[in-house]
């Protein structure tokens, strides 16, 4: 640091207390030193100049009162006044030298009074019971005057006696710690008790008046902490010269005094060298803290850096104006101790010392001296907390190379008992700046990393939010730090929370959504239904499904086709795939999303015991929902199904512009407007009506893609919408509906379609089983709005192919629609003829027979695709064989079939049953 050197007294490992002691046994007291040595470490602050002028030839001779808190330098000034009386020439030479440097004519022309004898004492040590004891002991004529006083028989020396003594030898009485001593005096009770306080009070009045009236023989100088003592009030009556350390230059003076006191060669280093060494720091200081000032102010701001060097102006201000204002601190003397320690611990390479140099984890850098000065248990706890936070940041392994400096500076700014506790971002940024600029983005990123990995850093609201350490934990910071601990989430609770939150973010607020949102876990390609609700399983889907794909694979069409075949064995035409934006990773791999989810989850869990965590957790949840809601901008639906070669399946991709809870309705809207072809649907409904299918069977068929590869499926848009389209077809006269035994439809070609549609909406509006049981028919079979009996069984029996396992079933059969949905399969054997016209045979050529192994009913439905059978293909004969079922279970199965279905029932009973 430009070869800056501390004074010799500060170089020892154990530094002596910097408080002024008048006399020491080893001869190192302030009054023991030669005047030249004492004034070599003395800076001419304004308050010292005022005191010197008061006892000069030009002074008024009034009593002098130094008033100020501990550590303000009262004792040092009193020692200087003592030397000014003892060594007039030395002090005048000192004054002339400094006067020339400071261009101060008053100092240059200072003429001190001569011929006085100094009596200087810090009376708080209680070496003297009465103030006159001190005078009688120290004054050259004191013993003689003491004899006269004792002979007089009065309790207090008379003014005339004091005037006689001082006439023999003019005297300057300098009494330090006067208030402390006087306030400890008491009067003994009773008439005969000693009245120490009263007698001293009277004696002070005599001395004060004598100093005012006879400054040629007596000068009276005292120091007090404030004006609340009776001793001060007694002197104040004589209008003393006050030295109160409150002048406009007092703060600047103290700074200069401290620097002069610390360094033996500080004034010998040219300002231009200091200016060059601190150029980067000064420029950043102006940019970060004073950018609101005009450029013309730059030199003034830079001069502040030069004047405070080697310490940053903010460090001096922080110590003097904030930290060392505590009652336990000793002002400048503790400031000197702290600055000595930090200077000795700072590397030579540093161009300036800032709060960041008070390394919170290094007791040798002035931290201990600082804590001793404050002497506050809470502040000591803050240091331990800051240390733990620094350890947490280091263990987190974040990219924050300036973490130690930032945390140390923040700790320094947080232990202040003043109003401005903590620091703003710009102050912390400046604290870690030295000879090179730190980019704003880099600093902000580091500070964010530190905040997120520390538990006790709080950010308080304001125009310029202040950061500070507090004993209590920062709920948000702890949530963030804990969210980064993978061990806390080994049970997968974070992923489950992400799934549930994403589902919440996408599900419309309506009572019943038009589509069911399903959010799988990260293993969706191999185990999509793991951990999901039972109603999320394909066999339980009761409406269109919006399946949220975590991440799009490289060969998405191929992978999705294979996935659809393996994991969705039925209702493959029901699902839509919501896809993230291009280039977006899986939510389970997105670090920011994962941290937000974990923090929200922990906030919910911990919030049961602490409302702060619940509040912060809610904020994280809000941010999480916002991030998830805008993550998806497209979806895919099946365009072409190929069961035999699922890797050849094709999908249609559509863009969406909505986000969050509006996505579901947007997807369905896009499908209706862009992908649903009413003409294709009308043809499909017509075919179903030709086969007199039920609505339930038709819906079941629509939920599956066409078996034939390359054929585009008609999108399944839910029961309500599809049934509405069925009603539209019926209103056009192309099909009719059998509702509860009555055929409804268009009466004639001249009937209005809209009127018919309204009639159908009224008479054919059904839900649930009643909807599924509605039969579709064509005009050549039924008459509009006519009640007709159900179809009669045929009069002839078609030939039945031989089956080696299932006994043949003989009996009439009629074409019937498939039962709606899936239900439990009861015992028995059911034969349902599905081909031919009632009353005719099936033909001569033997039919082809397909037979499966014994499987569950769910897996049996997949055999049709394996055999290449489409849902519209007619079957000559269908058999189901059940074993071990009860009559009740079998009856339940029969009741699930359409009421017009005709079949032959054959059962085999156990032996012994007739």
Determine how many CB atoms are found less than 10 A away from the CB of residue 742: 15
Strand partners for 829:
881, 906
CA atoms within 13 A on the CB side of 624: 31
* pLDDT tens sequence across 556-577: 989 999 999 999 999 999 999 9
**Which residue, 376, 386, 251, is CA-closest to 326?**
376
How many residues comprise the chain? 914
Distance CA 428, CA 648 (A): 61
Model pLDDT, residue 888? 78
Q: Is-contact 39 300, C-beta < 8 A?
A: no
Determine how many CB atoms are found less than 10 A away from the CB of residue 884: 6
Question: Sign of the C-alpha dihedral, residues 204, 205, 206, 207?
Answer: positive
% the chain with pLDDT above 90:
59
How confident is the prediction for the chain on average, in pLDDT?
85
* pLDDT tens sequence across 878-914: 888 888 888 878 877 887 776 667 788 888 888 766 6
* pLDDT tens sequence across 642-684: 999 999 999 999 999 999 999 999 999 999 999 999 999 999 9
750 versus 259: the higher-pLDDT residue is 259
Residue 191 CA: distances (Å) to CA of 166, 508, 902: 32, 95, 132
Ranges of H-type helices in 656-715: 663-670, 678-690, 695-702
Strand partners for 836:
none
* pLDDT tens sequence across 25-74: 888 889 999 999 999 989 999 999 999 999 999 888 889 999 988 777 89
Tokens representing residue 57 in the block: 């030839």
Q: Across residues 7-24, what is the average pLDDT?
A: 78
Model pLDDT, residue 804? 35
pLDDT at 841 exceeding the cut of 50: no
Stated pTM of the model: 0.64
**Angle 613-614-620 from CA coordinates, rounded to 5°:** 85
Residue 213 CA: distances (Å) to CA of 219, 223, 630: 10, 21, 89
- Listed in order, strand segments (DSSP E) in 146-300 are 171-176, 218-224, 241-243
Q: Taking the mean position of all CA atoms in its chain, how far away is CA 435? A: 32
* pLDDT tens sequence across 602-639: 999 999 988 999 999 999 999 999 999 999 999 999 99
* pLDDT tens sequence across 771-802: 999 999 998 776 444 433 344 344 333 333 33
Tokens representing residue 164 in the block: 């006689």
Catalogue the long-range contacts made by 1-4 (C-beta closer than 8 Å, 24 or more residues apart). Answer: 1/277, 1/310, 1/346, 1/348, 1/350, 1/351, 2/269, 2/273, 2/274, 2/277, 3/265, 3/269, 4/263, 4/265, 4/266, 4/269, 4/310
Q: What is the dihedral of CA 247, 249, 251, 257, to 10 degrees?
A: -110
pLDDT at 326 exceeding the cut of 60: no
Distance CA 742, CA 730 (A): 14
What phi and psi values does residue 404 have, to the nearest 5 degrees?
A: -60, -45
Ranges of H-type helices in 268-402: 271-277, 279-289, 298-308, 313-317, 331-345, 367-374, 377-396
Q: Taking the mean position of all CA atoms in its chain, how far away is CA 37? A: 57
Task: Name the residue with tokens 């306080």.
Answer: 197
Domain ranges of the chain: 1-114+248-269, 118-238, 270-473, 486-669, 680-787, 792-914
872 versus 677: the higher-pLDDT residue is 677
Q: Across residues 290-318, what is the average pLDDT?
A: 94
């Amino acid at each position: 640091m430009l070869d800056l050197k501390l004074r010799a007294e500060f170089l020892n490992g154990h530094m002596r207390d910097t408080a002024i002691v008048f006399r020491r046994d080893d001869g190192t007291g302030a009054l023991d030193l030669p005047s030249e040595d004492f004034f070599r470490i003395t800076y001419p602050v304004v308050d010292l100049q005022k005191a010197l002028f008061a006892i000069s030839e030009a002074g008024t001779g009034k009593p002098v009162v130094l008033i100020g808190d501990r550590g303000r330098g009262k004792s040092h000034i009193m020692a200087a006044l003592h030397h000014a009386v003892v060594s007039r020439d030395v002090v005048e030479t000192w004054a002339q030298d400094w006067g020339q440097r400071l261009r101060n004519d008053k100092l240059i022309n200072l003429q001190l009074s001569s011929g006085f004898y100094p009596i200087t004492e810090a009376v708080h040590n209680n070496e003297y019971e009465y103030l006159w004891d001190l005078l009688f002991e120290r004054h050259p004529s004191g013993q003689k005057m003491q004899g006269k006083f004792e002979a007089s028989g009065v309790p207090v020396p008379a003014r005339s006696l004091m005037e006689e003594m001082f006439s023999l030898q003019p005297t300057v009485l300098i009494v330090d710690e006067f208030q402390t001593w006087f306030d400890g005096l008491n009067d003994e009770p009773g008439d005969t008790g000693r009245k120490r306080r009263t007698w001293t009070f009277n004696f002070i009045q005599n001395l004060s008046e004598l100093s005012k009236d006879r400054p040629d023989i007596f000068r009276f100088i005292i120091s007090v902490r404030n004006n609340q003592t009776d001793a001060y009030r007694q002197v104040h009556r004589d209008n003393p010269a006050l030295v109160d350390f409150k002048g406009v230059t007092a703060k600047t003076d103290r700074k200069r005094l401290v620097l002069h006191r610390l360094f033996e060669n500080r004034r010998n280093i040219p300002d231009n060298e200091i200016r060059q060494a601190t150029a980067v720091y000064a420029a950043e200081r102006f940019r970060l803290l004073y950018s609101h000032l005009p450029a013309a102010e730059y030199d003034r701001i830079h001069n502040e850096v030069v004047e405070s060097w080697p310490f940053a102006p903010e460090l001096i201000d922080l110590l003097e104006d904030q930290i060392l204002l505590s009652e336990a601190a000793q002002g400048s003397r503790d400031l000197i101790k702290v600055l000595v320690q930090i200077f000795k611990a700072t590397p030579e390479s540093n161009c300036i010392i800032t709060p960041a140099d008070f390394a919170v984890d290094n007791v040798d850098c002035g931290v201990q001296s600082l804590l001793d000065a404050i002497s506050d248990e809470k502040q000591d706890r803050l240091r331990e907390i800051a240390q733990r936070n620094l350890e947490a940041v280091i263990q987190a392994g974040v990219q924050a190379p300036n973490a130690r400096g930032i945390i140390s500076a923040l700790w320094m700014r947080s232990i202040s008992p003043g109003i401005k506790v903590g620091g703003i971002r710009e102050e912390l940024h400046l604290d870690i700046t030295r000879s090179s600029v730190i980019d704003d983005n880099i600093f902000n990123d580091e500070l964010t990393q530190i905040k997120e990995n520390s538990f006790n850093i709080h950010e308080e609201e304001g125009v310029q939010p202040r950061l500070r350490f507090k004993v209590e934990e920062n709920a948000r910071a702890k949530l963030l730090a804990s969210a980064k601990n993978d061990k806390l989430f080994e049970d997968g609770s974070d992923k489950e929370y992400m799934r549930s939150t994403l589902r919440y973010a996408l599900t419309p607020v309506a009572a019943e959504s038009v589509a069911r949102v399903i959010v799988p876990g990260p293993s969706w390609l191999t185990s999509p239904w793991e951990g999901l609700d039972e109603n999320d399983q394909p066999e339980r889907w009761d409406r269109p499904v919006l399946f949220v794909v975590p991440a799009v694979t490289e060969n998405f069409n191929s992978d999705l086709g294979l996935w659809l075949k393996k994991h969705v064995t039925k209702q493959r035409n029901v699902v839509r795939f919501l896809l993230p934006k291009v280039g977006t990773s899986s939510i389970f791999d997105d670090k920011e999303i994962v941290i937000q989810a974990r923090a929200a989850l922990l906030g919910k869990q911990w919030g049961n015991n602490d409302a702060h965590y619940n509040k912060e957790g809610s904020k994280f949840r809000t941010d999480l929902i916002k991030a998830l809601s805008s993550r998806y901008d497209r979806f895919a639906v099946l365009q072409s199904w190929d069961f035999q070669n699922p890797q050849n399946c094709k999908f249609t991709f559509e863009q969406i512009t909505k986000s969050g809870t509006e996505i579901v309705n947007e997807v369905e809207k896009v499908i209706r407007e862009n992908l649903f072809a009413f003409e294709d649907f009308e043809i499909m409904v017509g075919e179903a009506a030709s086969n007199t299918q039920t609505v339930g069977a038709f819906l079941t068929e629509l939920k599956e893609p066409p078996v034939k590869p390359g054929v585009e499926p008609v999108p399944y848009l839910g029961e309500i919408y599809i049934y509405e389209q069925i009603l539209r077809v019926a209103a056009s006269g192309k099909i009719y509906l059998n509702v509860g035994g009555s055929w409804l439809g268009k009466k004639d070609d001249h009937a209005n379609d809209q009127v018919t549609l309204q009639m159908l909406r009224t008479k054919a509006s059904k839900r649930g089983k009643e909807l599924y049981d509605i039969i579709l028919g064509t005009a050549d079979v039924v008459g509009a709005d006519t009640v007709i009996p159900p179809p009669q069984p045929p009069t002839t029996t078609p030939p039945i192919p031989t089956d080696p396992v299932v006994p043949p079933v003989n009996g009439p059969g009629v074409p019937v629609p498939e039962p709606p949905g899936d239900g439990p399969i009861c015992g028995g054997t059911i034969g349902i003829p599905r081909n031919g016209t009632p009353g005719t045979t099936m033909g001569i050529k033997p039919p082809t027979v397909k037979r499966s192994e014994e499987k569950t009913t769910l897996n049996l439905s997949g055999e049709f695709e394996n055999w290449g059978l489409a849902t519209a293909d007619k079957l000559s004969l269908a058999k189901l064989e059940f074993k071990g079922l009860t009559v009740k279970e079998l009856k339940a199965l029969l009741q699930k079939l359409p009421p017009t279905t005709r079949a032959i029932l054959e059962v085999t009973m156990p032996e012994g049953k007739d």
